[in-house]
Structure 1
């Protein structure tokens, strides 16, 4: 499907309004750019040199703000060693300087269909501080030792100079591993990733595997697709999760720290989900945990996808940051429920403000030193700062706007869809409103029904009633009605 010129114009206007509403200014002030240029020319370089390790990165094609690089190897006698290099933003940015002050305003990198609003100036985030191939870069170098079962036996982090040798993407890594052509360090990603997934399952962690809506700009036209995660996505994520858990463990050993926490869902939500599973024909024995059930479902099956969508909203509650200065100040809630362990964000400092602080705490802890004063001074307010981040709003609303623009010229058309959400409650057993997922194009939209109720997980035929990027209710910019009698 291609957009008309009117739809493109409406989308451009709506995206500009979204940026204005989110106070997302792409351009950096001149003093910030000047400070970034100076920092790029004169970073604080570490004494340790690890440029002999052949690191590689895995990111979407075309990415330049590369936060992480890894090198994986087997240990003599069994087990593995993971070298995980994280961009060292503090080697370029000084607390209170113009780049730091601007980063505290931006908080995270925001992604829009037609570009991004970066946390740091590109001369740093896509240049001197990025782990691009074949350039020597200061980094925070994590070293994890794992036993033959994938359990971490030792973790440390220190400053080092590193050099990535290859910039890889997920599809390429998956193809190379599947075909047996991957170099050993890359091939070990599967071995370690599978073991870490088993460790995750053992501790009760949850990894949802729903297809993502992906917006791309190709030849001047926006396109929507569903992107199902590859196994390589999950293996790569396990390395990051492992590092975030190791960082949280260091912090909890004595403080200071900042954790990413999530409370468990209340009992009544679990009870409600059990009723939904029963209604969808999904067998959920009482001795099977929620995490075990999730891993057993296939997101490509309509009823399973509908349940997973409901589960994500009901049980994966909002995550929050909690900071503390010492052991006596550790918060009561330290665990991230979905991960089933203490956890923190520390692996994306080019794109997320909090990671720079978490990394500094861990470097100091490994060295047996106190965290820098500039870190301690910021920790108390950092959770409130991060709570103001607008990354999720930018992601979701950008996709909503593209959906509306893509369908502007199709009002009145009918589509095949699956009901993935309804407003059903005990007092409202015959729901009239919900959400559908179209098979083609990759659109999620609100749906209403007048005569018949909406049944979760069913295939339906829907008629497009509205597609308007400027509609004030962002949840109903795209609105369908059920074609009665065809559900």
Structure 2
């Protein structure tokens, strides 16, 4: 789970389903590859189709170069704090650096967030371009950044060994993981190391985590328990991703988060929760909201549980039930697919004065705000600026305040484009992988069924497609025949084999 890397709950859209499976128990039948396969899906055409910018205007690049050459650093010096970053391998746009320690029977969480507001002022050319883009967009073959790389992967990124401006959050927790104090200020920081999730997971498993994050498993699990107590709902469904295969070509995998990613995400969620509280107490800000699940959706899921082998104890909420599922079980994967209906309706909700009618986020189980990924998401910069002002006992800058009502529309447009590009890239890769194999048989699992039609997921590659003749119920293993793999239309279809 990572709310700052495309999310946590995929917000409005149900997540793509997929699950790991043993080759011995669930073999995949593939015919021979064609002699002259195309080079790969045309991801550039997909970006062009959705008006994804391929470059930055000259004035934006010039402004970014000027800022990078004279990077403003805060007077407060926190470079002695041994922060580290924890991100996917190869990342350069490093928004967050963390340090965890014990204090007075509890914990102190220090979280440094790249201070993008100090280098991208409202009304600048950089600001205008960031509003046009909304967020960093990730395609399989390239990244389309929110800000020019000289900033997002250079002067503003929390790269190791470099003095950087940051919004430094200090959150004190008691022994039960409840917040007992919050401080936020601008400070100069210096990350000690750039760590990647796989290596950190290996160190966590071996008990050899470096000092700055030695408490990450302990604090992460504690925050997970508190989230469960709040009724937070986390699907945990594997994400369908287009990746380079061993031969250099493209393939699809179903990737679930490592435990360390979930623990790290809890630190981000904690920061988002205290930011939301700061804004609500101050009477101005922008929240990330998600309404509670509709009772009829919860009841429908409860009725479905026995058929898919899911135990739903009396009095248990959906979050508690979902937390006990195993995505390797195809019936549980199908149940998670249906549970996506619980997490729809996410929005950015600005307010200035009275709090909005909807302040909570059902996925988090509390009010929540996006503040931890300003290099990659537009709204975080403005929310952080509001929080910095309120923490200092002053009113937010009028230009920041004036931008708040515009943010929901800008982010909604950006989210739609991002989802469309990601979905098209997956569809194109599915069709490209299967082109020329019409008539071949595959083993699959039904993840949803509606009469004679439904959706199936193959084990490997992680292809998800429509299927006719799906008489078997959701969660069933079936043998399917490929009937269509149209690269031009990015369309794949199957039918249940007799």
- TM range, smaller chain: over 0.9
For 1:442, the equivalent position in structure 2 comes to 462
Residue 262 of structure 2: which of 234, 237, 256 is its match?
A: 234
Instruction: Give, in whole Å, the separation in 2 of the partners of 1:221 and 1:25.
Output: 25
- The answer on whether the counterparts of 2:40 and 2:250 sit within 8 Å (CA) in structure 1 is no
Q: Say yes or no: does 1:294 pair with 2:322.
A: yes
For 1:142, the equivalent position in structure 2 comes to 169
For 1:339, the equivalent position in structure 2 comes to 364
- 1:222-242 C-alpha deviation (Å, 9 max, x unpaired): 122222211101100100000
Q: Say yes or no: does 1:16 pair with 2:44.
A: yes
CA drift of 1:4 comes to 6.1
Q: Say yes or no: does 1:325 pair with 2:352.
A: yes
- The answer on whether the counterparts of 1:174 and 1:230 sit within 8 Å (CA) in structure 2 is yes
Q: Say yes or no: does 1:466 pair with 2:484.
A: yes
Unpaired stretches in structure 2, ≥5 consecutive residues: 1-29
After superposition, the Cα gap between the structure-2 partners of 1:3 and 1:379, relative to the gap in structure 1 and judged at 3 Å, is: farther
Structure 1 segments of 4+ aligned residues over 3 angstroms from their partners:
1-10
- The answer on whether the counterparts of 1:3 and 1:405 sit within 8 Å (CA) in structure 2 is no
Residue 493 of structure 2: which of 462, 475, 479 is its match?
A: 479
For 1:427, the equivalent position in structure 2 comes to none
For 1:356, the equivalent position in structure 2 comes to 381
After superposition, the Cα gap between the structure-2 partners of 1:67 and 1:4, relative to the gap in structure 1 and judged at 3 Å, is: farther
Name whichever structure is richer in helix by fraction. 1
CA drift of 1:468 comes to 2.1
For 2:235, the equivalent position in structure 1 comes to 208
For 1:432, the equivalent position in structure 2 comes to 452
Instruction: Give, in whole Å, the separation in 2 of the partners of 1:179 and 1:132.
Output: 26
CA drift of 1:184 comes to 2.7
SS at match of 2:270: helix
Bigger Cα displacement from structure 2, 330-339 vs 281-290? 281-290
Residue 259 of structure 1: which of 261, 278, 287 is its match?
A: 287
- The answer on whether the counterparts of 1:192 and 1:235 sit within 8 Å (CA) in structure 2 is yes
Instruction: Give, in whole Å, the separation in 2 of the partners of 1:225 and 1:97.
Output: 41
**TM-score between both structures, scaled by the size of structure 1:** 0.92
Bigger Cα displacement from structure 2, 221-230 vs 83-92? 221-230
- The answer on whether the counterparts of 1:26 and 1:118 sit within 8 Å (CA) in structure 2 is no
After superposition, the Cα gap between the structure-2 partners of 1:413 and 1:71, relative to the gap in structure 1 and judged at 3 Å, is: same
SS at match of 1:388: helix
- The answer on whether the counterparts of 1:7 and 1:406 sit within 8 Å (CA) in structure 2 is no
- 1:155-195 C-alpha deviation (Å, 9 max, x unpaired): 12111111111111111111101101212322210010010
1:145-294 equivalences in 2 (<5 Å):
145-217=172-244, 220-294=248-322
- The answer on whether the counterparts of 2:235 and 2:339 sit within 8 Å (CA) in structure 1 is no
- The count of aligned residue pairs is 465
Unpaired stretches in structure 1, ≥5 consecutive residues: 424-430
CA drift of 1:318 comes to 2.7
- The answer on whether the counterparts of 1:419 and 1:454 sit within 8 Å (CA) in structure 2 is yes
CA drift of 1:38 comes to 0.6
- The answer on whether the counterparts of 1:73 and 1:81 sit within 8 Å (CA) in structure 2 is yes
CA drift of 1:402 comes to 1.4
After superposition, the Cα gap between the structure-2 partners of 1:333 and 1:161, relative to the gap in structure 1 and judged at 3 Å, is: same
SS at match of 1:48: coil
CA drift of 1:279 comes to 2.2
Residue 378 of structure 1: which of 397, 403, 412 is its match?
A: 403
CA drift of 1:3 comes to 7.4
Higher relative contact order (CA 8 A, sep 6+): 2
- 1:181-215 C-alpha deviation (Å, 9 max, x unpaired): 21232221001001000100111112222222232
